[in-house]
Copies of this chain bind each other. A is one copy, B any other.
Amino acid sequence: MNGAESLVATLVASGVDACFTNPGTSEMHFVAALDRVEGMRPVLCLFEGVATGAADGYGRMAGKPAATLLHLGPGLANGLANLHNAKRAATPIVNIVGDHATYHAQHDAPLASDIAAVAAPFSSWVHASTDAGKVAHDAARAVAAARKPPGGIATLILPADTAWSEADGPAEPIATAEPAPPRPDAVARAADALASGKAAVILLRGDALTEEGLAQAGRIAKTTGARVMCDTFTARLPRGAGRFAPTALPYFAEQIVETLAGTERLVLVGAKPPVAFFAYPGKPGWLTPEGCEIVVLAQPHESGPAALDALADAVGALGASPDLAPLARPDLPAPGPIDSALVGQIIGRLLPEGAIVSDEAATSRLGPALHTAGAPPHDWLALTGGSIGQGVPLATGAAVACPDRKVLALQGDGGGMYTLQALWTQAREKLDVTTVIFANRSYAILNVEMKRVGADPGPKALSVMDLHDPVLDWVKLAEGMGVEAVRVDMTEAFADHFARCMREKGPHLIEVVHTR
């Protein structure tokens, strides 16, 4: 058994059994090991940003890490932007990055770079294996590091000779740390804050956003009058009929200020106090109201659900009935030209139970979010790190993790172009993903932001935010990668095609041409 085989066997024994890859020469022994060791599913991606984004989607849905297999520093570099998003989502991921043989590093060959330095800004754990005998144990450590609560990016650098040299065999998996239990003093402080009669907000992030965590927060809200909120962009949010719905913070700073106005106690469960996504001249960045007391009920590495259980007990809320969303689907809209709100209305009407929604719809996201609030239960995955080009890869990985659930990618056209290669992987793996492209043919958000930062655009500036010249043909782009596609600009056509996509399995794309 060589080092690569010991590595793959250890990953599989540690519960890592999917690998999103774009390999090169230095990873050939890992690739060959896929046939010599049972249990690892390779998923080929034509660009590394697809691999890392898919690993993020997989991790969010599977609750355990996938591996990526990437080629040297530049291959890792191509995957960094979606690792940034995954890091902000606290998704567990194990990156395996091939490197030159240890004895070849001295020669500074053309593909050489400082891989550990490339990995560091977006990893919580980085290690370079130094000999084949240690690779297996290093792999076990990498998995444990990725799974360490709340979840992180572990990058293991694998020099080619540690892959091809003889090893002893796989290593024992390392027991995964559990989220830390509630701290009684924190629970008592939070209970005091909620019992104070002051206007309170409970802000949830991470594992607090399970169906059970939400229900418990709903009971606390019912009992104490506190409001329950979540971030604008959540890694995974269970939504729909029968679930307690937290209020999502709005996107713009002044809207958050308005939403939080009058709040005197802010109770954080795995979350951080809200800040502005960007700074704007003369606008606030820190958004907690002045004089509001901040109470940390649970830090990110502590169990959100257990903390909420303890808090519910402390405030006498265990017997309360939370306000759960009723099943309430909108009607189909009248025939006519489509816009993003009408798309949302149709999706709200037709979204199947158990759907997974990857939301990178950007300026088109509010309609779909609003109209699916009363749809059957589903999960919503948002752009946690703000780096566009996540949506289609994320949907791809979610579909690998959950083959029996319908996956829906809501994707702006600007962001969709970053990582469109993900469509090919969907076709190759016959994944059950429907991609809706919101084709406003613009970096629409930048037209808004340009004004917000106080800049005055002329014709050159306006041109670099505009995607009309030439118009992208998403039907051809999708078909070019083996995904069936249509273009629509009317409500009835979208409803017909969307209904068909929800009925039939396999990848589809609908380009929605709209102007607002």
Residues of chain A touching chain B, judged by Cβ–Cβ distance below 8 Å, are 21, 23-26, 28-29, 31-32, 34-36, 42, 44, 46-47, 49, 72-75, 77-78, 80-81, 84-85, 88, 100-101, 103-104, 107-111, 113-114, 117-118, 120-122, 160-161, 164, 233, 272, 275-279, 281, 285-286, 384-387, 389, 414, 417-418, 420-421, 424, 427-428, 445-446, 449-450, 452-461, 463-465, 467, 469-477, 479-482
Q: Are B446 and A23 in contact (CB under 8 A)?
A: yes
Residues of chain B within 8 A of A456, CB atoms compared? 32
Residue of B nearest to A451 (CB): B28
Determine which of B75, B464, B471 lies in contact with A23 in the assembled complex, contact meaning CB atoms within 8 Å: B464
Q: How many copies does the complex hold?
A: 2
Determine which of B80, B111, B389 lies in contact with A118 in the assembled complex, contact meaning CB atoms within 8 Å: B80
Residues of chain B within 8 A of A32, CB atoms compared? 450, 455-458, 461
Q: Are A417 and B428 in contact (CB under 8 A)?
A: no
Write 29 A-B pairs (CB below 8 A) sorted by A numbering.
A23-B446, A24-B446, A25-B278, A25-B446, A28-B455, A34-B460, A35-B458, A35-B460, A42-B460, A42-B463, A46-B417, A47-B417, A47-B418, A74-B84, A77-B81, A78-B389, A80-B118, A103-B279, A108-B275, A109-B278, A110-B277, A111-B387, A113-B122, A160-B279, A161-B279, A424-B472, A473-B479, A477-B480, A477-B481
Instruction: Please report the C-alpha to C-alpha distance between residue A61 and residue B47 in the assembled complex, in whole angstroms.
Output: 27
Known: A25-B453, A46-B414. 16 other contacts (CB 8 A): A25-B278, A32-B450, A32-B455, A32-B461, A74-B81, A88-B110, A108-B275, A109-B285, A110-B385, A164-B453, A417-B421, A424-B470, A428-B470, A470-B482, A473-B480, A477-B481
Residues of chain B within 8 A of A414, CB atoms compared? 46
Q: Are B121 and A114 in contact (CB under 8 A)?
A: yes
Instruction: Please report the C-alpha to C-alpha distance between residue A456 and residue B452 in the assembled complex, in whole angstroms.
Output: 58
Instruction: Please report the C-alpha to C-alpha distance between residue A469 and residue B43 in the assembled complex, in whole angstroms.
Output: 12
Instruction: Please report the C-alpha to C-alpha distance between residue A445 and residue B71 in the assembled complex, in whole angstroms.
Output: 14
Determine which of B161, B418, B454, B476 lies in contact with A164 in the assembled complex, contact meaning CB atoms within 8 Å: B454
Shortest distance from the beta carbon of A107 to any chain B beta carbon, whole Å: 4
Q: Are B463 and A36 in contact (CB under 8 A)?
A: no
Determine which of B31, B100, B121 lies in contact with A455 in the assembled complex, contact meaning CB atoms within 8 Å: B31
Q: Are B277 and A101 in contact (CB under 8 A)?
A: no
Residue of B nearest to A469 (CB): B428
Determine which of B107, B109, B464 lies in contact with A44 in the assembled complex, contact meaning CB atoms within 8 Å: B464
Question: With A81-B78, A387-B74 in contact, is A276–B460 under 8 Å at CB?
Answer: no
Residues of chain B within 8 A of A461, CB atoms compared? 31-32, 34-35
Q: Select the residue from A103, A108, A277 with max chain B CB neighbours within 10 A.
A: A277
Instruction: Please report the C-alpha to C-alpha distance between residue A493 and residue B515 in the assembled complex, in whole angstroms.
Output: 41
Q: Are B107 and A275 in contact (CB under 8 A)?
A: yes
Instruction: Please report the C-alpha to C-alpha distance between residue A477 and residue B421 in the assembled complex, in whole angstroms.
Output: 11
Shortest distance from the beta carbon of A250 to any chain B beta carbon, whole Å: 14
Q: Are A464 and B28 in contact (CB under 8 A)?
A: no
Shortest distance from the beta carbon of A158 to any chain B beta carbon, whole Å: 13
Q: Are B110 and A279 in contact (CB under 8 A)?
A: no
Question: With A113-B122, A118-B80, A453-B28 in contact, is A464–B21 under 8 Å at CB?
Answer: yes
